[in-house]
Every structure is written in structure tokens, then in C-alpha cells.
Amino acid sequence: MKVKKLSIESVREQFPSLKRKVNHHPVIFFDGPGGTQVPSRVIRAVSNYYRYYNSNTHGQFQTSRQTDHIIEAARNNISNLLGGEGPSNISIGQNMTSLNFAISRACSRIFKPGDEILITQLDHEANRGPWLLLRENGIKVREVKLLPEGVLDEEDMRNKVSENTRLIAMGMASNAFGTVNNVLLGRKLAYEAGALFLLDAVHYVPHFPVDVQEIGADFLLCSSYKFYGPHLGFLYAKPGALDNLPVDRLRTQDQQAPFRIETGTLNHASLAGVNAVAAFIAALGEGKSAREKMRSGMERINVHEQELLKILFNEIAGIKKLRVIGPGYGDAQRAPTLSFVHDSVHPEYICTLLAEEGIAAWNGNFYAIKAMEVLGLQESGGVVRIGMSMYNSESDIERLISTLKKI
């Protein structure tokens, strides 16, 4: 079935920050992979929380009960977004990194010297550092090689899984190059080895519909500030996966999933914002259930972003001195994130000139530092990254290209 187009004008209307000007130029945000802009209804929901509902949880009084309801609704909404079994499989954290550290610390208590973990050279450091720490406990951490094209070496991945592998941790999409990884291969290898399978979906969830039950991951992590919401992280854990994990916790806290990995008081106002994001995405789509609407909303976002990506690829290809780093358009499924380097101009200088024209884009390694080192880009300042989000338009690309041509 053909996916309906997003109405880009009505989408843009909902993001107040898009009305800003920088140096008299209307601002363009291509920095979505670092965090997207936020629609008005999310901003209102966060502020209304402090106006009407502010309290701690599990009290007998109205604001406390309303806060309990907001938190439960946020778990439910994220479960619907990811295609999970329900709210009891969604844990809430400060961000993806701290949740991943909590899981890795717990694993360090159950994995034994000689056990192995497989990570990748392409991943953001948030899905490498927490696992590399386990080397201190005698656990061997192996790394899937990154190929010069910015994709993982699948043969190497197969070769590095053994009967000692206890966990495979990989990204679904690269925040540096837009590469979408073969998670079905990861899942198969993990299953055959009897290993846990953990996915960093931070760069994937904002751009593609997800069905975590179909993927079959034990753990999947994402962050709502990458998909139009507040700064929070979420963990999906398969039923039972969290129950036996010896995570850091107080005896006063609920020992059951999904609460057992959550420490202290959550960010209630931001969770109210997450509920507004869910309503925003659902309103873009159609269907009977909340899940169907959100899935359909994500499909429309995906189609819009992929159209922009195609245009951007064609335009960048026309600028001789630029070299795209990562898979080409049409090589494979790809996130709408395009990175490039110039023959002689430093990425920081390019982004400074773009910024003067009101165009926000990141330069550097974006914490995918290992990938930049492997590709020999770290010393030369990394890459320029153009990250497209649902509110970007063709005219944003036109302005970007004409500015790049001037440079």
C-alpha cells in the first residue's frame, strides 16, 4: 500500500523554533541526530506538568495519582512506538548511556572470565564503552570490523561469535554515517550462541517504524530527545530479561521489571512531554489502535525523509570536491543522515560557515570515535554530518547546497 505523504507545511507550523532567524536568515536544523526540535504540544505538556500535576509518585492525593498515570502512559506509549508487549517492558532512564551502563554493570556480576562479548567498531561509544569496561573482569570483548565503505564486515561478525559469546551489542543505525546494520544476522548469531542480544536503536527509532518483538532483541535502547521529545532514555527488555539481572538498586525500590533498573525519582515533566510526542506521531498516521497510528506516522516520516535523502545525494554528488562517507543511496536501507568530507576544507570550518548562514549541522566524530579512527578521519576533524528530520524540506536542501557551493 502506498504510504500517504506528510503535509510538510502543517508539520513545520508545529515547531516554534523553526521560526527563528540567525543573521537574518531563517534557521535550518540539520542537527537532528544530535537532538531534534520539539513541537508546541510537547513544550506545553512539559510546562503544564509543573502547572497542574507536579508531585512525587504513589501518594493518595490527586496530583500524585495523576503523576502515576502520566508515567504509566509514557511506558505504554513507548511500547506502542517500539511494538513491545506492553508498559511492563519499558524502563525509563536519564538517557541511553546511563541505562546501558546499568545493564553492563549487572552483566559484569554474572559473566565469568573467559566469557566473550561482541561489539562493533561502528557503534557510538555509548554502546562500546560500557562493554569494554568488562575487560577488567577478565571478559574478552571482541569487535566486528568496520569496512572502508562505512558498513560492518558481516563475515568478520560471523567469525567472532563462539560458544563463549554471552552478549552481542550492536547499533541498528549509525549516527555517524547513516548505515543500517543487519540486525537479523546479529539476532541469528546471538540465538545460535545462546547469547543476549542488545540493540542501540537511538539513531534508528527516529527514522523507521520498529517492531521489537519481530526483531527479537533482549534489550533495545532509545532516547526521546532524538524523536521530537524531551531528554530521556528508554529501555525495552523482553519479558523476563530484566528479572534476573543483578542491577544496582535500593531495597526500598520495586524489585520487579520494569522498575528494578530505575533509580530514584524519574523526570516526570519530561514523561508528560513524551506522551505528547506519542500523540503528535500518532496524529500523523492512521489506523485503529494507538500502535497502528504511531506505526503509520513513522512510515510517513520515513517516506518523507527518504525522499529528501535521495535529493541530497544527487546534489552532493554534483559537488566534485565533496566525498560522501558511508553507504551510497540505494546500496542498502539507510538512515537520512549523510556525512561528507571536503578535499581540503576542515569540517569545522564548513560548519562554521553554514552556521553563519543560519544552517545548523554538526562536524566531528559524534562519539562514533572508533569508526572515525578506523576510517582515518579522526585526525582530520571527522566529517560534516547533514541529519534530516521530519521538519526538513526540499528548500532547506537547496539552501544548504547553494551555501556549500559558495564555500
Ligand X SMILES: Cc1ncc(COP(=O)(O)O)c(C=O)c1O
Task: Give the interface with ligand X as residue ranges (CB under 6 A).
Answer: 33, 95-97, 124, 126-127, 171, 175, 200, 202-203, 223, 233
Residue among 142, 128, 141, 148 at smallest CA distance from 374: 148
Place of cell 540505494: 330
Nearest CB to ligand X, comparing residues 107 and 222: 222
Minimum distance of ligand X from residue 96's CB (angstroms): 3
Nearest CB to ligand X, comparing residues 199 and 294: 199
Nearest CB to ligand X, comparing residues 291 and 370: 370
Nearest CB to ligand X, comparing residues 175 and 302: 175
Which amino acid, residue 403? T
Q: What are the backbone angles phi and psi of residue 370, rounded to the nearest 5°?
A: -65, -45
Minimum distance of ligand X from residue 367's CB (angstroms): 6
Cell of 212: 521489537
Minimum distance of ligand X from residue 35's CB (angstroms): 8
Minimum distance of ligand X from residue 103's CB (angstroms): 13
Nearest CB to ligand X, comparing residues 200 and 357: 200
Looking at the chain, the number of H-run helices and the number of E-run strands are: 13, 15
Cell of 70: 502520566
Residue among 35, 5, 12 at smallest CA distance from 227: 35
Q: Following CA atoms 73, 211, 190, 98 in sequence, which dihedral angle do they give, to the nearest 10 degrees?
A: -40
Nearest CB to ligand X, comparing residues 143 and 357: 143
Nearest CB to ligand X, comparing residues 200 and 396: 200
Rounded Cα–Cα distance for residues 316 and 15 (Å): 27
Nearest CB to ligand X, comparing residues 205 and 308: 205
Give the distance, in angstroms, between the CA of residue 92 and the centroid of all CA atoms in the same chain: 15
Minimum distance of ligand X from residue 203's CB (angstroms): 4
Which amino acid, residue 79? S
Cell of 16: 516554534
Q: 355-387: string of b/e by CB count within 10 Å (b at 16+)?
A: eebbbbbbbbbbbbbbbbebbebeeebbbbbbb
Minimum distance of ligand X from residue 237's CB (angstroms): 17
Minimum distance of ligand X from residue 124's CB (angstroms): 4
Minimum distance of ligand X from residue 97's CB (angstroms): 3
Place of cell 524489585: 255
- What count of residues does the chain have? 407
Nearest CB to ligand X, comparing residues 258 and 285: 258
Rounded Cα–Cα distance for residues 118 and 132 (Å): 10
Minimum distance of ligand X from residue 274's CB (angstroms): 13
Rounded Cα–Cα distance for residues 240 and 258 (Å): 10
Cell of 342: 571536503
Residue among 283, 387, 335 at smallest CA distance from 42: 283
